[in-house]
Amino acid sequence: MIEATVSAAPQPILRADYRGPSFFIDRVDLRFELGEDLSRVHATLSLRRADGVPDDAPLVLDGEALKLLHLALDGRTLGADDYALTATTLTIPGRGLAAAFELRSVVEIRPQDNTELSGLYRSSGNFCTQCEAEGFRRITYFLDRPDVMARYSVTLEAERARYPVLLANGNRVAAGELADGRHFARWDDPFPKPSYLFALVAGDLRCLPGEFTTRSGRAVRLEIWVEPENIDRCEHALRSLIKSMRWDEQAFGREYDLDIYMIVAVNDFNMGAMENKGLNIFNAKYVLARPDTATDDDYQAIEQVIAHEYFHNWSGNRVTCRDWFQLTLKEGLTVLRDRLFSRDMRSAAVARISEVLGLRTAQFAEDRGPMAHPIRPESYIEMNNFYTTTVYEKGAEVIGMLRLLLGPDGFRRGMDLYFDRHDGQAVTCDDFLAAMADASGRDLAQFSRWYSQVGTPIVRARGEHDPDARTFTLTLEQAPPHGRHDAALLHIPIAVGLLAPAADGARALPLQLADEPAPGATTRVLELRAANQRFTFVGVDAPPAASLLRGFSAPVELEVPRSDDELALLMASDPDPFSRWDAGQELGRRALLRLADDAAAGRPLALDPRFVAACARVLADPHLDGSLKALALTLPGERILGQHQEVVAVDELHTARQFAVRALAEALREPLQALYAATAPGPYSIEPAEVDRRRLRNLALGYLVALGEPQTVALAQAQFAAADNMSDAQEALACLIDHGGPARDAALAAFHGRWCGDPLVLDKWFALQAMSSHADTLARVLELATHPDFNLGNPNRARALLGTFGARNQFHFHSRCGRGYALLADKVIELDPHNASMAARLVAAFNPWRRFDAARQQAMRAQLERIAGQPGLSRAVHEIVARALAPV
């Protein structure tokens, strides 16, 4: 009799368990025989035992989904008795191994069947790779960990007709013909790198070439590779690359190191883009742009992602991570670098506000859910689950705080020291902090707690004015995040300013603390290090309005008792554009939460006239640019509003926000109409002033169409029909979808008819419908999930429909009937056996389930349990679901 076996729950890997490798690999020689049914990988590894490792320590190589054909040690073929194979390892006993030796292997793999899109796979008939975090082990047996860095030489062999282009990392050193219509190319990468940065591409691709001369005068060839039909959509990507290369030289003194830099766009990609040394592989979404196919946001995202991957050449590739717990070392730092770049390329204020909006919407929610973790996680089951907004965005905020504390020059000295000290090494977050501390002379011991801290800290502030002493005392207090009590005291920079009410609004006061001889600047950074600290400003005649957390100087929730009048003053006059926007958001949030309460209690709804008046002032302000105005006049989203409730009131929040949009539109109808008429589009241009104008005009259109009147709907129809660019077309279409009826159906049909052959644009068609506020959205999403153009196996399409719906449509996804939940769970179960990492991303939509009412909690819990009960569930989905269901 055989006992029924229950597969053991996957065990977490702990940061505390890190051990250095027992062996290093100095050189790797790879030869790929690429074929239609199967491919062969010949690997020759030069290995050596690490110092201090005993002679009998076995060599354990990682390997997954590989068929081993041949294995030889120093030229001697090994038999089956000489090694042991499991589903994930190849072990050679230590006794037979010299201190240094050569291991040759031949394995067979099947890239055409690789639906996980990890390792070597096919996309649109081409071969490509994705190896971060642990995909290289699906290509050959290897020590697949980032602290093993080797020099690679790679030969690709394939049929010339199908795969005329053969690319790999480094410089191309040879190419030529082989028998039977096949050809080869050999690439050498002179820089040692971890296996996760390995890449190859083979396919029928076209190239947009460019050139960049580095500051030391070296010419670098630039190549953007795409499918032939997309060759007219690469210029923006090339321009963005050139800007990034120049900026990194100017801002950080970092120069590119190889003779060639290549970017390849592929259609099937789990992530955004990948920084493989010299050969970036990108989701096509972050490369391809033409005015009629890409929005202004797409253009900016492309510029930023290209910059991000380029900047990794230093922060990630030249200096890499010792282990995956250190992911934020390269990601938090590189996100900060791409943000600084973006702020230099366009309006810094608009960029900063967008960063904070993203952080508050997604990262703050993650901090309050079952996946809450420090920017340097302590454990994981599946590393792919930790490419999170916490590691990336909060990680960038932490390094941004460091920059604020050290000043731009001190930070730059720290960066220079970090790169000098660790070039060519795999290091840790502690090494980074040590370089910053050594270069600046600052003690960062307390600051380093940000790396282990879980959740969003709360900072409470209150101010007291003493008219006799003419002082203003600000008391700052740090409190643990919601639901946590174990938080250590952090080192938190709080940027503040004080505004004195004046006849024409407010005046910024030069700030002088009690122990200082003279007043200084109008903004200063206070360092909160204790549980409670008091800061007394002198020379303050009248009670000021305190502008706190300027520029969002720390990733905290700020609680400060302020009257609506004080907020209205800050919204109208704060010279810090972030704080000005933030005051408006808080004022709007208060008004909307009151409306939601009124809706819950069945009271009649009326939008606070003070808020309406404040919005009217913003709209009329001649000094604000269009993008800032559009941000200021966009009401807080339902997901952000829900974070400020004990139990998310899904329906009431929706009612309140819809009501407020219409009420604002009615109150501001005339200025909005005038604005819309006055900003009629000229010829399309991507210049910032034109982007600002389009943003503001489309904001006005959104409000006007929300009135639901035939003449305002006609504006959207006319804009949709006449648009020569995707920004205007998409915004008009979004308005029409929200409006519904025949206008919507006609626009959707026209859009589909024009773009059904264009995957990236068709993704927009799915996403816009999935995020609509219209009453029948859920029914339409259910229908779209069976649409012939829907393809669960393509990550972009799955994200467009299901990712958008689950993460960006609180009202309809959380529909009481539970059909939204069932749809998502069905698709997670369907996708998991094919692409576990995408399935894990989708299932995360259930993470906030405990924040909702009992009926919704029960419905979501039932779906989570149904998923958990699936036989053969992947580690990736298991980890997310198990954490979600774990008792709190």
> Are the C-beta atoms of residues 36 and 112 closer than 8 Å to each other?
yes
Q: Give the pair of three-digit tokens for residue 698.
A: 């489309």
Angstrom distance (rounded) from CA 60 to CA 74: 17
CB of 452 to Zn ion, least distance (A): 22
Cβ-based nearer residue to Zn ion, 331 or 576: 331
CA 687 to chain centre: 25
Hey, is 696 helix, strand or coil? helix
Q: Which of 170, 171, 251, 259 is closest to 212 using CA atoms? A: 259
Cβ-based nearer residue to Zn ion, 133 or 149: 133
Angstrom distance (rounded) from CA 165 to CA 701: 46
CB of 447 to Zn ion, least distance (A): 23
CB of 493 to Zn ion, least distance (A): 25
Angstrom distance (rounded) from CA 506 to CA 545: 9
CB of 235 to Zn ion, least distance (A): 24
Instruction: Enter the DSSP assignment of 393.
Output: I
- Tell me the chain's radius of gyration from C-alpha atoms: 28
Angstrom distance (rounded) from CA 448 to CA 810: 36
Q: Examine the residue annotation and report whether 309 is marked as an active-site residue of this protein.
A: yes
Q: Give the pair of three-digit tokens for residue 238.
A: 């090339």
Cβ-based nearer residue to Zn ion, 363 or 777: 363
Cβ-based nearer residue to Zn ion, 282 or 472: 282
- Half-sphere exposure for 105 (CA within 13 Å, toward CB): 22
Cβ-based nearer residue to Zn ion, 306 or 545: 306
CB of 117 to Zn ion, least distance (A): 17
Helical packing angle, 296-311 and 726-739, nearest 10°:
120
Q: Which of 815, 862, 864 is closest to 843 using CA atoms? A: 864
Angstrom distance (rounded) from CA 828 to CA 778: 18
CB of 308 to Zn ion, least distance (A): 6
Cβ-based nearer residue to Zn ion, 191 or 765: 191
Q: What angle do CA 213, 215, 218 make, to 5 degrees?
A: 45
Alpha helices in 423-448 (DSSP H): 429-440
Catalytic residue among 157, 309, 393, 557: 309
Cβ-based nearer residue to Zn ion, 370 or 395: 395
Cβ-based nearer residue to Zn ion, 306 or 494: 306
Question: Please, which residues have CB within 8 angstroms of residue 779's CB and are 6 or more apart in sequence?
Answer: none
Question: Please, which residues have CB within 8 angstroms of residue 171's CB and are 6 or more apart in sequence?
Answer: 187, 188, 189, 190, 258, 259, 260, 278
DSSP sequence for 467-493: TTTTEEEEEEEEEPPTT---PPP--EE
Question: Please, which residues have CB within 8 angstroms of residue 770's CB and are 6 or more apart in sequence?
Answer: 777, 781, 784, 800, 801, 802, 804, 805, 808, 809
CB of 133 to Zn ion, least distance (A): 12
CB of 354 to Zn ion, least distance (A): 18
Angstrom distance (rounded) from CA 367 to CA 845: 14
CB of 419 to Zn ion, least distance (A): 17
CB of 240 to Zn ion, least distance (A): 16
For 593, 604, 650, 855, the CA distances from 600, given in Å and listed in that order, are: 10, 10, 11, 17
Angstrom distance (rounded) from CA 323 to CA 119: 19
CB of 311 to Zn ion, least distance (A): 8
Q: What angle do CA 215, 196, 800 make, to 5 degrees?
A: 95
Using CA of residue 102, residue 323, residue 264, residue 235, what is the dihedral sign? negative
Question: Please, which residues have CB within 8 angstroms of residue 454's CB and are 6 or more apart in sequence?
Answer: 367, 372, 373, 374, 481, 484
CB of 389 to Zn ion, least distance (A): 13
Q: Give the pair of three-digit tokens for residue 642.
A: 């829900």
CB of 332 to Zn ion, least distance (A): 9
> What H or E segment, with its residue span, contains residue 697?
helix 688-706
| Region at 192 (left for phi over 0; alpha for psi -120 to 50; beta for the rest) | beta
Cβ-based nearer residue to Zn ion, 315 or 655: 315
Question: Which residues bind to Zn ion, rule: CB under 5 A?
Answer: 331, 334
Angstrom distance (rounded) from CA 110 to CA 651: 49
Angstrom distance (rounded) from CA 586 to CA 568: 10
Cβ-based nearer residue to Zn ion, 39 or 334: 334
> Are the C-beta atoms of residues 176 and 197 closer than 8 Å to each other?
no
Cβ-based nearer residue to Zn ion, 331 or 690: 331
Hey, is 182 helix, strand or coil? strand
Cβ-based nearer residue to Zn ion, 331 or 608: 331
Angstrom distance (rounded) from CA 187 to CA 189: 7
Angstrom distance (rounded) from CA 427 to CA 619: 50
Cβ-based nearer residue to Zn ion, 313 or 523: 313
Angstrom distance (rounded) from CA 616 to CA 671: 8
ω into 613 cis (within 30 of 0): no
Catalytic sites, residue numbers: 309
